Chains A and B, each alone.
Chain A
Amino acid sequence: MRLILLAGFLGSGKTTILLPMAGALIEQSSKVVIIENEMGEIGIDGSYLAREGLQVQELFGGCICCTLSVGLVESIDKIEGLYHPEVIVVEATGIARPGDLKKTIFQYNKCIEKIDTVTVVDAQRYEVLRHALAPLFEAQIDAADIVVLNKIDTIDGQAVRDISTDIGLINPDAKLHTVSMDESSGFEALLRDVL
């Protein structure tokens, strides 16, 4: 079974990307289940995705890369047993370290054969977050197979190039996509890579 791990800091646009991405996977006839993790005690995004018709398992009140890691492992096993999906998409909290998540899943969930990590980065707040939360920010980019620089409509072309260079220095192996979900630009190319 394939697992897509959607990571990236709070407010970067993970849920906004997840909705059409899951839709495209379903259109490809893939059986898809979403695991939605939220730090807060109340699930907000999970109910939004469920209302859009997606199969969603919520884990809230903690982060799946540490306090809820057991819950994640159990959820994947449970989903595998109940639904036999072809793809599980895990939307991590904005403070999760995807590298830790990958290790945990590969160690305990033998049904997962492949993990693709997609890290979403907020172009609008890049400079602020890059400096204020450097260790977490870099860890999220460093663990990615694909980095999505989202909200590029909020900055100019030179800033997009500067940020792209910086991301390349943190993770030279990741494929970078620059997108604006608000303006529907760049998403199709991202989708081709993810699918």
Chain B
Amino acid sequence: MTHEHTYETASAFAGQRHLSFLEPMPIANIKEAISNLVLELTRALEVQGCTIIGHIKGRVDAGSSGSLFFNTTQFAVAPRFRGELQEPVLRAELAINIIVYGVTEAQIDRAFENSLRLILVVP
């Protein structure tokens, strides 16, 4: 099928990272870190010219300790969480999907990497 798709002006990015903690991480701290990550990411995207957040949604999968899902559609607003994690969490997989308007995929990639470094201290 061919048609003119307005999402041609949207950029999509998907990323995955392994997270490991030196000691069991309280769930509240994980939520706070994810909130800060998303806030920093939306700030960086807005500075670069992002006009609309289609969505930023993600998952922290801690295997048998459960999964935490988060999403936002707004700048400078902490994400909403659903799902559940149970302590102790020593390692987890972070997955994120980002669809936004006004910036390129490369800009999203950079903003995501920089935000990760700032918030989660990724080596």
Contacts and interface: CB of A to CB of B under 8 A. Distances in A.
A183 to B, nearest CB: 14
A48 interface: yes
B52 A132 contact: yes
B83 A45 contact: no
A66 B4 CA distance: 10
Contacts of B52: 128-129, 132-133
Given A40-B12, A69-B1, A132 B51 contact: yes
A45 B97 CA distance: 10
Interface residues of A, number: 30
Interface in B63-122: 67, 69, 71, 73, 82-83, 95-99, 101
Nearest to B7: A95
Interface string B1-20: 11111110010111110000
Q: Secondary structure at chain B's binding surface: helix, strand, loop or mixed?
A: strand
Contacts of A97: 3, 5
Contacts of B53: 11
Contact of B59 (A47, A65, A135): A47
A135 B7 CA distance: 10
Given A39-B99, A40-B12, A129-B52, A100 B7 contact: no
Contacts of A135: 4, 6
Contacts of B54: 9-11, 94-95
Given A42-B97, A51-B83, A95-B54, A136 B12 contact: no
A36 interface: no
Interface string A38-76: 111110110110010000000000010110010000000
A91 interface: no
B14 A48 contact: no
A109 interface: no
Interface string A94-115: 1101001000100000000000
- Of all A-B residue pairs in the complex, the 4 with the closest CB atoms, nearest first, are A40-B97, A11-B73, A10-B54, A95-B7
Given A42-B97, A95-B10, 5 more contacts: A10-B55, A10-B73, A40-B13, A42-B95, A95-B6
